[in-house]
Amino acid sequence: MLDIRRIRQEPDVIQRLLAKKGVEVDLGELLTMDERRRTLLGEMESLKAERNRSSEEVARRKKAGEPAEELILAMRNVGERIQRFEADVRALDLEIGNILLTIPNTPLPEVPDGKSADDNVKVRNWGTVPTFDFEPKPHWELGEALHVLDFERGRKLSGARFTVFSGRGAQLSRALINFMLDHNRRRGYVEMATPYLVNRDALVGTGQFPKFEEDVFRVVPHEYYLIPTAEVTLTNLHRDEILDDKDLPIRYTGYTASFRAEAGAAGRDTRGIIRQHQFDKVELVRFVRPDESDVALNQMVADAEDVLQQLGLPYRTVLLCGGDMGFSQAMTYDIEVWMPSYGRYVEISSCSNMGDFQARRANIRYRPEGSKKTEFVHTLNGSALAIGRTFAAILENFQQEDGSVRLPDVLQPYFDGPSVLKI
């Protein structure tokens, strides 16, 4: 959520920055309501001051034995006016708050201009894109031939975009989860295991609601929602809390299943496991002081990249342009793994600095050392990594001519059996 004071002070700057995201926002109505609210507050303060003076005068008159009935009646009228003003302010607070919830985060000034992924800026490449002396197969064909992916039974159990990981495929998926969690713990993150079901406040706090309600699965008749990412639970661990300055920065990692309706994504990546309604992911979340978030973002990107480097998977890192950024993001790097079946790089991690946008929505603050006032923390999140996409990338990049797949050496401590998947 944007700070209303910032909107009040620099509306033109905010509109210009939001235009980088391709978003046009008319702040006029919001500012009119804000001005009305401040006017009401000023009138309320004047009336309260008048009531205080009258109370003192009533006390004086009673003590002196002088009549005070007329003044008491006037005070009662003032009190009723104050109550009406308070009701009007509460209504305006609700309306202003609802509008603020729909306004995206502003990108940082250094975010490049652009309208789509075609305008993202390549930062670096790592690894060598594989070449094959044979016709490589896509991961969905390899997975079925190796009996590690079962798409038909996934459809039978649930429907389209659900997959069963079978036998050694289930083992490989679990090995990836454990490897990533251990990797993240070694890099200073505290492992957390959080629920898959959350309340509405949690999704408002991280910015999924109200903008993206259609993308989230709701559990009826209960007011629970299946999480689209562990970012929701890990960030909301500290909702409505004031953190100690000495505890910052806080770094969490966690594995969860993730659930997305993928509304509006019909026809995109329908083959294989790149775009699923249910998928596994290991997440990174950080809470930092405001002046530390730029450095923290670069560190988080390095943490996610190191997972791919240890697995030996070729990737590239890109800085997203304004038009390709999400609702809550102030700055985002995508890490894209090479997928031979696509003939291109495919997103496998997105690492973002949210600034104080989520912290304002979720009311996550800290008290700087030596200060009596609190400030909002900055939050960051990123995937390290999406399990299904990592699984698919391993099958495609490390496939052999005989249809087998060589597994990364780093997974051997987590994988029971040969280091090659064979038919």
Q: Which amino acid is at 25?
A: V
Residue 348 annotated as binding site? yes
Query: Using an 8 Å Cβ cutoff, are 381 and 230 in contact?
Result: no
Cβ-contact 336, 386 below 8 angstroms: no
Please identify which of the residues 347, 375, 404, 406 carries the catalytic annotation: 347
Q: Catalytic: which of 51, 155, 275, 406?
A: 275
- Reply yes or no on whether 260 is catalytic: yes
Catalytic residue, from 258, 305, 389, 396: name it: 389
Residue 186 designated active-site: no
The string of DSSP letters for 233-273 reads HHHHTTTTEEEEGGG-SEEEEEEEEEE---TT-TTSS-STT
Look at the block and give the residue holding tokens 């000495």.
246
Say whether 160 counts as a known binding-site residue: no
Catalytic residue of the set 161, 260, 286, 361: 260
Question: How far is residue 251 from each of residues 163, 199, 227, 359, 380, measured CA to CA in Å?
Answer: 32, 23, 20, 15, 9
> Is 231 marked as a binding-site residue?
yes
Exactly one of 173, 258, 341, 350 is catalytic; name it.
350
Annotated catalytic, 367? Answer: no
Given the DSSP bridges, would you call strands 315-319 and 331-339 parallel, antiparallel or unpaired?
antiparallel
68 is in an annotated binding site: no
How far is the first Cα of the chain from the last one, in angstroms, to the nearest whole number? 52
Residue 260 annotated as part of some ligand binding site:
yes
Report whether the peptide linkage leading into residue 221 is cis, meaning its omega lies within 30 degrees of zero.
Answer: yes
350 is known to lie in a ligand binding site: yes
- Residue 2 — φ and ψ, nearest 5°? -80, 150
Q: Is 116 flagged in the annotation as binding?
A: no
Q: Would the annotation count 6 as a binding residue?
A: no
360 is catalytic: no
Is 275 catalytic? The answer is yes
- The answer to the question of whether 401 is labelled as a binding residue is no
Annotated binding site for L-serine: 229-231, 260, 283, 381, 383
What residue numbers does the annotated binding site cover?
229-231, 260-262, 283, 347-350, 381, 383
Catalytic residue ranges: 260, 275, 347, 350, 389
Going by the annotation, the residues of the binding site for ATP are 260-262, 347-350
